[in-house]
Structure 1
Amino acid sequence: MKSRLVTLLVLLCAMTISNAQMRKWTLEECVTYAVDNNLTIEQFELDLEDSKIDASDALGNMLPNLNASSSVSSNTGFSINPTNNLPTNSTAFNVNAGFSSNVTLFNGLRNMRRLNRAKINAIASQYRLDDLKDDIRLSVANAYLQVLSNKEQLRTFEAQLAVTEQDLKRTKELVESGVSPRGDLLEIEATAANQEQQVVNGGSLVLISRVNLAQLLQITDYENFDIADEEFAIPPSDILDNSAKVIFDKALSFRNDIKFSETNVELAAEDLKIAKGANYPTLSAFFQYGTRYSDVTQIPDANGVPFTPNFTDQLWIFDGVSYGAQLNVPIFNGWSTRNNVKRSKIGLERAKVQLEQDKLALETNIQQAYVDVTTFFKAYEAAEKTLEARRLAYDYAKERFDVGLMNAFDFSQAQSRVDNAEADVIRTKYDYIFRLKILEFYFGIPISLN
């Protein structure tokens, strides 16, 4: 047991030396770092950028396209003379060039709907990203408070062990002088050994909770990671001055998970409009310009003598344009359009149901958080009262033990009850603080321990 204690003390000393040089993280710094460096957040940010590109695509579909083309070829043997479209058997060098443009004039407003959908999808992606950040903030706060709780418990265990070691030293002197029986010394030694075990376990819990927080921040240098050495009392808060209904109504106005569900309903509504748009005719317009050159081209001059115009002249002579409009009317496509409309209607209803489920889940969580704040505060108050009573009982027991009116076993039991009461106070305090911060977070109050 002593070897384990020595090992832990050496480790704690090493931690103390390194802590003097390492950065001590506050809660606000941890939350900010987690939000800025989380890989899942980075992935969602890429999804947001991708959705913005989708909006650009949708806008581009509403604009005319423009394409240019050209070709160069040489034919030997049988071919068609491009001048008179008659068969010939010769070697010809040909050049063709042109450009074309198409634009959709009307397609049941589907292009406009797709643009609206792309814009809404970008907003939905932003809400989803912000909702993930909210979840990470709560997770970091919980892990941070766990480190604080474990550190405070370790300090309590160390203080208890220091007191017991003083009692052990005094009891040894009394036993050696024959005033107290050896059994008292054995009992105090057993108590000290148990408290040494508590110190060992408490140190392990501090290390584990620090590693858990570091992993949540995606920091791999565990040995040089620690949080600020601060003790936090119960923070003042008037959140309970508001009813759970008031907190819920306010949460509906800004919670990113609700906004995300609402935009999903808008997306589904746009999908339905797009599907219905396929029932309408599609009207498009086109324009084409082309020209060519061929070294076998023969045209008559002013005297009727055939000759081959040069390259530039042929480009001007043989250019031409074509333009027009095209109308496509959907008549029957195997019920594809009708079924897509039905699927879109189902998708819209599904999105509405999901929104109501999310609202119900939020209301349930707020109601639970509201009850938890009240319950855990009462548990903390009860734990403090219990600790006060245990300390009074311990002081009375120590007075009796010091004058030989209580044996070491009963005295160690009184001390053990104080130890347990102090641990309960620490646990219930941080349980209450975390539930309080959750409820405040639902009310729009940023996470802070100040």
Structure 2
Amino acid sequence: MKKLLLLCFIATVSSVAFGQQKKWTLQECVQYALANNISIQQTELDLESAAIDKSDAVGNFLPNLNGSANNSWQTGLTQNVLTGVLETQQTRNSSFSISSGVRIINGFRNHKVLDRAELSRIAADYNISKLKDDIALNVAVAYLQVLLAKESAKVVVSQNAVTQQQIERTQELVEGGVLPRGDLLEIKATNANEIQRIVSSENAVQIGLVNLAQLLNLKDFANFDIADANYQVRGEEILNTEAEVLIATAKDTRYDIKIATQNEEIARKDLEISKTGFFPTLDGFFNYNTRESNRDSGFDVVIDPNEPFVQGNPIGVTEGGEVVNSLDPNIIGGNAIGPLPFFEQLYLNDGISYGLSLNVPIFNGWSTRNQVKRSEVNVMRSEFQKELAEQNLRVAVYQAYTDAKAAKESYEAAKTALESQELAYQYAKDRYDVGLTNAFDFSQSKLRYDNAQIELARSKYDYIFRIKVLELYFGVPVTELKF
């Protein structure tokens, strides 16, 4: 008994949990896609790279500062760092230096590079915004396709319920001898066909949900579902706007044109940067260096107090022809003086250099000239791309405007067709119920009625989507589209 109660409790909790499964609205899907789509996340990295490039451009205005330290040991015939004389020795020497430099004049190249970095950052931002619009539209299309598949499935399931009732009634009429057995077989064949359509429509719903979940970058496909909202046609008044007005607005608001314009400005800035290669550059520099060694700093000599000087080498002659010798100290001994203290050596051995360096380009194998020509070609290419983007936008707006009007006419025609098919179906049903028509004619009328309902749903959601496309061209942000 306890086990039975436990199983009932688990089943109840499971059914409640299933009933509370989250169903996503279109707005929730769009917002989630904009926050989690991998393509958007990748494009946002381009924006970060553009910010880093701008930081590099700012850094070009700042002086550089470098420090170096070196410590080495020498054995054998090496140069004495104190005297500069080659000696057979075993020593340790250290050197330290600090250097700084700054570019003073370079044809305003640094300013132009900074301007280009800012243009690239803006272009990256436009690319992200365009990608978000595209993804939002793709999500809306996928969402509406799922809604259409669900509506189609509901129609087939609902009509199959009618078919099941017709099978029971026909069975009774056949057994009563009112209708031939062929009518019962016809109704059963219709039922089998509808069951096949139900399976196909339910499969279309699941495929649509999987495609939508992939756009949202969701991992749990099995439990993903959308809210069964009955979206109405909203924003039809935009069709009263002339196509030329839509085109003019789209040129000012669409990111396709903004990106093309930005790329043209970047190409022109690249041309300006390449021309700076013709200008001389002037650099300022400052260096500080010092050294230290473990070499003895000198020799402490001992002079004979009794005979402090001795005659040395001849240094000349007198007027009488006598040779004059030098008087050298009479050294009788001494001790080597060890190296000076570390910081004292750094102080005594330091040196400073500073100045200006001018570099004037004269000839570099036409490298700068060719780079300027390449930049000029890129400018012309960007101008063509901008013109092509404007042409494509114009065609796209006209196409969207025409499609929206055609979708409206199709939607109105579908509503009229459904009204007619519904009357025809009701008429065929009444005649079939009293035995005035056969099962085949009735099933054909019923099939036409089913298709009219599905066509109405298809034309409705297509019309909704076409209106939203026009609203985007008219400058309505994708997050503010009303469904």
Per the normalisation by structure 2, the TM-score is 0.86
Aligned CA distance change for structure 1 residues 388 and 20 (closer, same or farther; 3 Å): same
1:379 equivalenced with 2:410 (yes/no): yes
Alignment partner, residue 144 of structure 1: 143
Report the Cα distance in structure 1 between the residues aligned to 2:234 and 2:161, rounded to whole angstroms.
30
Aligned CA distance change for structure 1 residues 230 and 18 (closer, same or farther; 3 Å): farther
Alignment partner, residue 92 of structure 1: 91
- Compare 407-416 and 357-366 and name the one that shifted more: 407-416
* Alignment counterpart, residue 456 of structure 2, candidates 402, 425, 447: 425
1:335 equivalenced with 2:366 (yes/no): yes
* Alignment counterpart, residue 352 of structure 2, candidates 321, 324, 340: 321
Deviation at 1:257, TM superposition (A): 2.2
Deviation at 1:237, TM superposition (A): 3.0
Alignment partner, residue 5 of structure 2: none
Per-residue CA shift, 1:111-147, capped at 9, x if unaligned? 2211111111111111111111111001000000000
Report the Cα distance in structure 2 between the residues aligned to 1:61 and 1:282, rounded to whole angstroms.
14
Per-residue CA shift, 1:253-296, capped at 9, x if unaligned? 22222211111111111110110000001111110011112232
Cα pair 1:251 1:442 within 8 Å, conserved: yes
Structure 2 counterpart SS, 1:224: coil
Aligned CA distance change for structure 1 residues 245 and 149 (closer, same or farther; 3 Å): same
Per the normalisation by structure 1, the TM-score is 0.92
Q: Which runs of 5+ in 1 are unaligned?
A: 1-14
Per-residue CA shift, 1:173-219, capped at 9, x if unaligned? 11111122212212222222222222111111111111111111121
Deviation at 1:106, TM superposition (A): 1.0
Alignment partner, residue 129 of structure 1: 128
Deviation at 1:161, TM superposition (A): 0.8
Cα pair 2:235 2:467 within 8 Å, conserved: no
Report the Cα distance in structure 1 between the residues aligned to 2:275 and 2:126, rounded to whole angstroms.
28
Deviation at 1:399, TM superposition (A): 2.1
Report the Cα distance in structure 2 between the residues aligned to 1:258 and 1:377, rounded to whole angstroms.
29
Report the Cα distance in structure 2 between the residues aligned to 1:296 and 1:393, rounded to whole angstroms.
116
Query: Which portions of structure 1, spanning 4 or more consecutive aligned residues, are displaced by more than 6 angstroms?
Result: 15-18, 303-306
- Max Rg structure: 2
Cα pair 1:232 1:449 within 8 Å, conserved: no
Alignment partner, residue 414 of structure 1: 445
Alignment of 1:272-291 (within 5 A): 272-291=271-290
Alignment partner, residue 7 of structure 1: none
Give the total of aligned pairs: 435
- Compare 432-441 and 86-95 and name the one that shifted more: 86-95
Structure 1 counterpart SS, 2:256: helix
What is the RMSD of the two structures over their aligned residues, measured on CA atoms? 2.1
Alignment partner, residue 357 of structure 1: 388
Alignment partner, residue 391 of structure 1: 422
Structure 1 counterpart SS, 2:459: helix
Quick one: which amino acid aligns to residue 284 of structure 2?
A
Deviation at 1:91, TM superposition (A): 2.2
Structure 2 counterpart SS, 1:83: coil
Per-residue CA shift, 1:20-67, capped at 9, x if unaligned? 232100111111111111112111111211111111111112211001
Report the Cα distance in structure 1 between the residues aligned to 2:15 and 2:145, rounded to whole angstroms.
20
- Compare 102-111 and 342-351 and name the one that shifted more: 102-111
